[in-house]
Amino acid sequence: MSKRKTNERKKAFTLIELLVVIAIIGLLSTLSIIAFNQARARARDARRLADVKQIQTALEMYYNDMGCYPPALSVSGGSLATGSTVYMDIIPKPPTPADNQACAGTTFYTYVANNYGGTNNGTYSLRYCLGNNTGGIFATLNTATPAGISSAQPAACAPSCAGKVCGDNGCGGSCGTCQSGNCVNGTCQAIICTPDCREKTCGDDGCGGSCGRCYNGATCVHGVCEGGFGGGCTPDCRDKVCGDDGCEGSCGECREEGTVCDRGVCVRDEGGEIRFP
């Protein structure tokens, strides 16, 4: 009897297993609901386009018989007919909900007849709204005319490069590129390299210059002169960002256009006249 009860306990689900199953079922249900709602929204937009095309077809049949378009159209459950001829038995209403904030309040298709080419009611406009981009028509208030179903085009982007020589123009394009340096807030700024000769008496300073030379047969090994009959020259770049380091090397270069090195400092050269920044 005791052994049988032990086996029965092993067949039961643990609390963790039950929670995992419930979580998976909940996730699948949520995804299914989201996909279902998206499919319903697309179906409503397809219905709206189909309604507009049907109304346009009825309007064209009316025009062929009457030589003009109807002066008005009852969109609140009305019909399009003249005498015994019925062109559309019931004017459809757009399905709800609107699916787009721009379409809020558009519970009917809006029809307006206008004079055209000397003919009374020679043209019309039929306003409708889509919740999502459908068939090349944008998700917004659109207008159908005798020329077909048109779409309100998005506002053109006007690029602006005022005060800029580089960077983004605000429309995905470029205001230009920097030949040297980096683009910062629409202007090209030179890259200033600071030489580093800490614990070095020779070798590269990290900016294309030298930390010093080794003399009398000495060899530069990891920034230190070794061997031979002499040591190296210790460069001096204190208070300098450019110019000679005293050991036939350089403390750096002036990379910004229009600047020259004067006594270890980069200054602007305006027509041969040196001006400090």
The answer to whether residues 114 and 29 belong to one domain is yes
Gap between the Cα atoms of 134 and 155, Å rounded: 19
pLDDT at residue 276, rounded to an integer? 47
The answer to whether residues 28 and 143 belong to one domain is yes
Domain-located, residue 142:
yes
Q: What are the CA-CA distances from residue 28 to residues 21, 24, 113 (Å)?
A: 11, 6, 50
Domain-located, residue 266:
yes
Tokens 């609390």 map to which residue? 15
**Surface-to-core class of residue 34, CB atoms within 10 Å of its CB (0-12 exposed, 13-18 middle, 19+ buried):** exposed
- What's the total number of domains in the chain? 3
pLDDT at residue 70, rounded to an integer? 92
Gap between the Cα atoms of 166 and 163, Å rounded: 9
Taking the chain (277 residues) in runs of 10, the rounded mean pLDDT of each run is: 52 80 86 81 88 92 92 80 89 83 77 87 89 82 85 62 82 76 77 76 78 75 72 70 75 78 79 50
The answer to whether residues 144 and 210 belong to one domain is no
The answer to whether residues 74 and 119 belong to one domain is yes
The answer to whether residues 127 and 221 belong to one domain is no
The answer to whether residues 181 and 194 belong to one domain is no
The answer to whether residues 166 and 227 belong to one domain is no
206 near 193, Cβ under 8 Å? yes
- How big is the chain by its Cα radius of gyration, in Å? 40
The answer to whether residues 97 and 170 belong to one domain is no
The answer to whether residues 22 and 143 belong to one domain is yes
Domain-located, residue 2:
no
The answer to whether residues 207 and 85 belong to one domain is no
Question: Residue 176 sits in which domain range?
Answer: 155-187
The overall pTM is greater than 0.85:
no
The answer to whether residues 29 and 87 belong to one domain is yes
Residue finishing a domain among 166, 187, 208: 187
Domain-located, residue 101:
yes
